[in-house]
Amino acid sequence: MINMGKRTDIKKIMLIGSGPIVIGQACEFDYSGSQACKALREEGYTVVLVNSNPATIMTDPDMADRTYLEPLVPEILAKIIERERPDALLPTLGGQTALNLTVQLTEAGILEKYGVEVIGANYDAIRKAEDRALFKETVEKTGLKVPASGAAYNLDDALDIAGRLGFPLIIRPGYTLGGTGGSVAYNIQEFKELADAGLKLSPVSEILVEQSVLGWKEYELEVMRDRKGNAVVICSIENFDPMGVHTGDSITVAPVQTLTDREYQAMRSAAIRIMEEIGVETGGSNIQFAVNPLDGEMAVIEMNPRVSRSSALASKATGFPIAKIAAKLAVGYTLDEIPNDITRKTPACFEPAIDYCVVKIPKFNFEKFPLSEPYLTISMKSVGEVMSIGRTFREALNKALRSLEEKFSGFEDILLPLETSEGISKPGPNRLFYIKKGFNEGFSIDEIAVISKIDRWFLYNLKEIADCEAEIKKYRGRKIPHAVLKKAKEYGFSDRQIAVLTGKKDEKEVRMLREKYGIAAGYKLVDTCAGEFEAFTPYYYSTYE
């Protein structure tokens, strides 16, 4: 394929890494930066990488042409720019750190002084997306709804807005990552403390005081756009938990499960309109929406004009290399000019179609942070996550729970400290297991839905897993029939789980019976195209479908 779009007026490109490993910003951005380094060098560009963290793949000496292990502060970056004289700066692959530094370098006049062009997302696009007041104004220009809100730069302004909107209120600091400083205030005393903390945590001393949409359903769309305005949705993601829990702390599912096609298409069109209005020239962006479960009203929550933590998940979930493609788009290619590595026939403007279900479950270590409340809010607290693929939500969920390598091996009964209704209503790391406890105690799906605001579709699926477990238990001390064992494997139960539930000595007995019945795992490609084209994917997932 002859590519005509690649820019020849730039030779040297500078990348900024995400810095130290912190909650919400760690390996995901190392993954993105490494992909970008490889993609840009493949195209013949000289890559200068700056990162303060030596414990990353991107800082391997072979990854970039020049690597600087230096503090990520504007003064140091200015000296590196003076020395290296890059033609362009690509800030969209180094997380929030890279975006904030790009804004600071632009405002200090450093980039203009040395003739450095910002590619991927320019200064105005970053400000429109990251400045809470500008973002609200920009989204409203497109005719889309945002929750009623006001931007405040001091506590007096914040209190005025609170008096106008009423409680509960969401506080969202500007230019922070992982919801840092984000909180929910239910009364004036809480609000004063939380608003003051948010103002201090925002690098620009700005908070958005927002009308609560707690309990609404939350969705994310991962969108790619090129310089000609072509746009594709790479992955749609639905949060298991409703609004009020940061997406990094929620169980998430791809693709979306509870939207009609009409609702999804409206959301897709809205996401593309927002990217155009914000002015993201090329690359990937993550846009979050809230949907009122009572009437379907849709509101835009926020946008990341960069490759995000969710982008890494979307890449692995679909097989679409978002960071690699984003880097190539930033240097002038268009989506139709970049071949899809997976099919080798379709271009990158081919939207992935997936015929499986992906479940991500966050991992917490509250025991290592004794002063941290073990409840989940809009400020991210998870220290990692696992992802699993199955043919159904039930299978993928059970597989993901095992991957956590905790004290459980699936959706099962565990010892829990709180009363059942409190554990279901308060978002926490074990909420899923409180729902299981609720089923055991006779709570109906409707009762759990009212208490938790979790969509009934998910609760019906959880109930089916619980019912399957009860069916398996009936064969304790007896030979489990073929149909029951096959169903259990399709629902994602492990041989060990089945052995415990039926009172077997160990999992070998279950495995031998399974082999006798001819029940074996099949392996399917993560192919981005639901089997429409031959795929050359490097990885598979197992399933008992």
CB 493, CB 285: distance < 8 Å: no
Banded model confidence at residue 22, pLDDT cuts 50, 70, 90: confident
DSSP reduced 3-state for 360: strand
Banded model confidence at residue 24, pLDDT cuts 50, 70, 90: low
**Is 26's pLDDT higher than 60?**
no
Cα dihedral sign for 156, 161, 166, 169? negative
Starting at the earlier edge strand, list the strands of the sheet with 252-254: 298-304, 283-291, 217-225, 231-239, 252-254, 357-363, 384-390
| pTM of the model as a whole | 0.90
**Is 530's pLDDT higher than 80?**
no
At 143-199, the pLDDT tens digits run 999 999 999 999 999 999 999 999 999 998 888 765 677 888 999 999 999 999 999
**Is 352's pLDDT higher than 90?**
no
Q: Can you tell me which residue has the tokens 């969705």?
A: 219
Nearest to 193 by CA among 208, 202, 181, 204: 181
Report which of residues 327 and 176 the model is more confident about: 327
Banded model confidence at residue 1, pLDDT cuts 50, 70, 90: very low
Q: Mean pLDDT across the chain, nearest whole number? A: 90
CB 106, CB 118: distance < 8 Å: yes
CA distance 413 to 181: 34
Report which of residues 380 and 491 the model is more confident about: 491
At 464-478, the pLDDT tens digits run 999 999 999 999 989
Nearest to 181 by CA among 200, 167, 156: 200
Banded model confidence at residue 329, pLDDT cuts 50, 70, 90: very high
At 73-106, the pLDDT tens digits run 999 999 999 999 999 999 988 888 898 899 999 9
Q: What DSSP element (H or E) covers 487?
A: helix 482-490
Identify the pLDDT of residue 284: 84
CA distance 305 to 326: 11
Q: Can you tell me which residue has the tokens 């929550």?
A: 301
Identify the pLDDT of residue 3: 46
**Is 2's pLDDT higher than 50?**
no
> From the CB of residue 314, how many other CB atoms can be counted at a distance below 10 Å?
26
Tell me the CA distances in angstroms from 288 to 62, 91, 219, 519, one per residue in order: 36, 21, 6, 41
Report which of residues 127 and 343 the model is more confident about: 127
What secondary structure letter does DSSP report for 481?
A: P
Mean pLDDT of 211-238: 93
Identify the pLDDT of residue 371: 79
Identify the pLDDT of residue 527: 80
Q: What DSSP element (H or E) covers 111?
A: helix 110-113
Mean pLDDT of 117-128: 91
Mark out the alpha helices in 167-242 (DSSP H runs).
188-201
> From the CB of residue 463, how many other CB atoms can be counted at a distance below 10 Å?
18
**Is 259's pLDDT higher than 60?**
yes
Tokens of 464: 């089916």
CA distance 227 to 469: 52
CA distance 224 to 14: 21
What is the DSSP annotation of 428-451? Answer: -TTHHHHHHHHHHTT--HHHHHHH
**Is 436's pLDDT higher than 70?**
yes
Angle made by CA atoms 138, 144, 149, in degrees to the nearest 5: 65
Banded model confidence at residue 52, pLDDT cuts 50, 70, 90: very high
Q: Minimum mean pLDDT among 137-141, 247-251, 356-360, 376-380: which range?
A: 376-380
Q: In this prediction, what percent of the chain has a pLDDT beyond 70?
A: 97
Starting at the earlier edge strand, list the strands of the sheet with 66-68: 66-68, 46-50, 12-16, 88-90, 117-118
Identify the pLDDT of residue 4: 58
**Is 422's pLDDT higher than 60?**
yes
Identify the pLDDT of residue 179: 63
Nearest to 481 by CA among 469, 472, 490, 468: 472
CB 131, CB 174: distance < 8 Å: yes
Q: Can you tell me which residue has the tokens 């693709």?
A: 255
Identify the pLDDT of residue 175: 80
